[in-house]
Amino acid sequence: MVTIEEARRLVVDERSVLPATRVPIAQAVGCVLAEDAVAHDDVPPFANSAVDGYAVRGADTSDAAADRPVRLAVVGEVAAGASAMAEVGRGQAVRIMTGAPMPIGADSVVMVEDTRFDGDRQVFDGSQTVAVFASVDAGDAVRAAGDDVHRGTTVFAIGTEVTPTVAGVLASINVAEPLVVRRPRVAVLSTGDELVDDGSPLAPGQIRESNRTMLIGLVERAGLTAVDYGIVRDDESALEQTLRLAASECDAIVTSGGVSMGDYDVVKAVLSRIARMNWMQIAIKPAKPFAFGLLDRRNGGEVPVFGLPGNPVSSLVSFELLARPALRRMAGHTTSADRPWVAAVADAPLRRRADGKVHFQRVTTRFAADGRLHVSPVSAQGSHQLAATALAGGLAVVPDGDGIDVGGTVEVILLLS
């Protein structure tokens, strides 16, 4: 058997990053920047008000108090999106909305809650006034030009993942089409005459397909593009044709089943013939059998093939430990290729027997009043029992031995992030 670390060195560490491409911001979320993002504009581009209120000269409000208001003449009004045409002189104020540009002469804003307006707001003829009940200093409630970002600043470095928030910043600095690592297209397929996915009644020996459905969702949730190649029947010619087509259209291939030692399966027969495969037995439970290889494209280059075990929970664990981080490496992710690992408290015993393997027990997760993550094993740990695993929040990493007692600390790979 090989260790999980040895398997990861072959499967994950050797993966190269895909080429870069420019995409609209809306398509960039989940991708990784392939060049620094540099601000083309100041953000904000002009000084503006942080609140609704009155733009004033701070010195004019120095004597204002709740029981002794200062009265200023209101000489205009400016809304967000308008030009600040009005000017503020000594003893004057301009009604201003949040985000509106600061009028010339004003250096601060009094919040509307600290004022009382007197007069007709339709036309400013000099008769309108505002009572100011709180003093402000120069700069109060004013967002200076470039207060968030200065033009020419490198805001995000190469390798930054474009989250929705990052996308918002890119829009604000006028990076309309960021250069990102191309999102990998991942072919997902199932094989077997016994599989049914059309909702029809099951004939003897048939089962409903579930691995492909699960893996498509896992691929998409990882920020990648899943391409569904359906169920391929147990026919070597048909499987080879599908695999070669997938290799020509996609950047990686994920299959499940037919990777155990001693199995004769069309997947193993075909991949052994057309790809350079490594058939592994990894010292973990579940997901001991695993296959990885490279399949040549007809148009040049190689496509990695991830052969996951057929039991659904084993397929899930293999994907999380090996396929997912490798695929995310291809997408340009470095520190975020793997899911987060956190230390947790065992609320129930995580029992096991010594067998020379690392066990990945499926656990529910919750944050308790002590601020720590607490975990408990799901009701069933069999590699075929996907229903019990479906709502698991993590994989508890239980080293070889007798397990972990109640209250003990255990490393957990979070699955719901």
pLDDT value for 261: 66
Out of 3.40.50.720, 3.30.1490.20, 3.50.50.60, 2.170.190.11, select the CATH number for domain 48-143: 2.170.190.11
Under the banding of pLDDT at 50, 70 and 90, the label for residue 84 is low
Q: In the prediction, which pLDDT does 262 show?
A: 61
Fold adopted by 21-39+154-181:
Molybdopterin biosynthesis moea protein, domain 2 (3.90.105)
Whether the CB-CB separation of 185 and 225 falls below 8 Å is answered with: yes
Q: Which value, in Å, is the radius of gyration of the alpha carbons in the chain?
A: 31
8 Å CB contact between 29 and 168: no
pTM value is 0.88
Q: Where are the domains of the chain?
A: 4-17+182-330, 21-39+154-181, 48-143, 341-414
Q: In b/e form, how buried is each residue of 256-270, taking b as 16+ CB within 10 angstroms?
A: bbbbbeeeebbbbeb
In percent, the amount of the chain with pLDDT more than 70 equals 98
Architecture in CATH of 341-414: Beta Barrel (2.40)
What architecture does CATH give domain 4-17+182-330? 3-Layer(aba) Sandwich (3.40)
- Helix (H) / strand (E) containing 327: helix 324-330
User: CA-to-CA distance for 371 and 374, rounded, in angstroms?
Assistant: 9
Confidence class of residue 382 from pLDDT cuts 50, 70 and 90? confident
- pLDDT at position 85 over 80: no
Least confident interval from 33-37, 242-246, 331-335, 402-406: 331-335
Cis preceding-peptide flag for 399 (omega within 30 of 0): no
Predicted local confidence at residue 387, as pLDDT = 85
Q: What is the pLDDT of residue 169?
A: 97
> Mind listing the pLDDT tens digit for each residue in 192-225?
888 889 889 998 998 899 999 999 999 999 999 9
Q: Can you tell me the mean pLDDT for 32-38?
A: 98
| pLDDT tens by residue, 222-271 | 999 999 999 999 899 999 999 999 999 999 999 998 787 665 688 999 99
CA distances from 410 to 179, 202, 226, 413 (A): 40, 42, 33, 10
